[in-house]
Amino acid sequence: MEENNILEMTVSGEQAGQRLDRVIPGEFDQLSRSYFQKLLEQGSVTLNGSVCTEKKRAAAEGDRIRIVLPEPQKTDVEPQDIPLDIVYEDSCLLVVNKPAGMVVHPAPGSPDRTLVNALMHHCGDDLSSINGVLRPGIVHRIDKDTSGLLVVAKNDQAHEKLSAQLAEHSITRRYLALVLDNIKQDEGTIDLPIGRDPGNRLRNAVVSGGRRAVTHYRVLERFGRYTFIEARLETGRTHQIRVHMSYMRHPLLGDTLYGPPKNRAGAGRQMLHAGVLGFVHPLTGEYMEFEAPLPEDFTEVLERLRSRA
């Protein structure tokens, strides 16, 4: 369970026996292992009602863990006049088609020129405050090098209702992706848990004790060594489609983190596009669905593959 700056969980049987500093980062995407260790040292973690500071403490099934996150520090996030591709906007929210290469919110290594900087220029103070000063209005994210649709909340009430839909898995999120090699099945479901990769903290992986992750896919086109698919998210773990497809030995074309180190077919990034986004409007109760066309770089790669077929 997550409420503002409080995270709570109960250790499952699959997670029992693992160190807390491995269990917790696998359960909550926003916590790295080093950050969780720092919270332990600060006394911000309680285990079954008592403060816990032991980094190597093994989790037991049924353990109740509560983490109090510090309030985000005030940071100067400047509005910047960056063009936005706004698909829809009203008094509650806006739907944005994010280009590949744009980071969603400021972070180490990406202090500005982010979607948040652009939103602050466009919306002024009309962005929800639930996610703090670094992520105003941001209900969900997509990777820097993934293109496509995001919904942004202009007030806290809209944010809470949209977040509830995410938690209930009722938001429609369909992606288009190019993956390596031929997927033999016309469609399928990948239901495998995802957590932090113990060998590389920059990656996630399919791991025992990870958070449940479900991806549905169907084949749209085959090109021999490549397959064009639609992937529908039932859950929304960090890098979910990239992790699942890599585990199935079909990493995304151009994905050097989860696939081969060299790009193929001229792809300059992972070929992943958030093409369809649907949700119930938080004020009207009406179901709304939006679609963003493939960007030019994705289309060019597809056309090259079709010309060779």
Residues assigned a catalytic role: 143
CA distances from 236 to 95, 163, 267, 297 (A): 18, 12, 25, 25
* Helices vs strands, H then E, count in the chain: 6, 16
Pairing of β 272-280 and β 147-153:
parallel
Which residues does 62 contact at the CB level (< 8 Å), separation at least 6? 10, 11
Q: Which helix (H) or strand (E) holds 176?
A: strand 172-180
Residue given tokens 């099945």 in the structure block: 185
What type of residue sits at position 103? Answer: V
Tokens of 294: 């493939």
Q: What is the DSSP letter of 11?
A: -
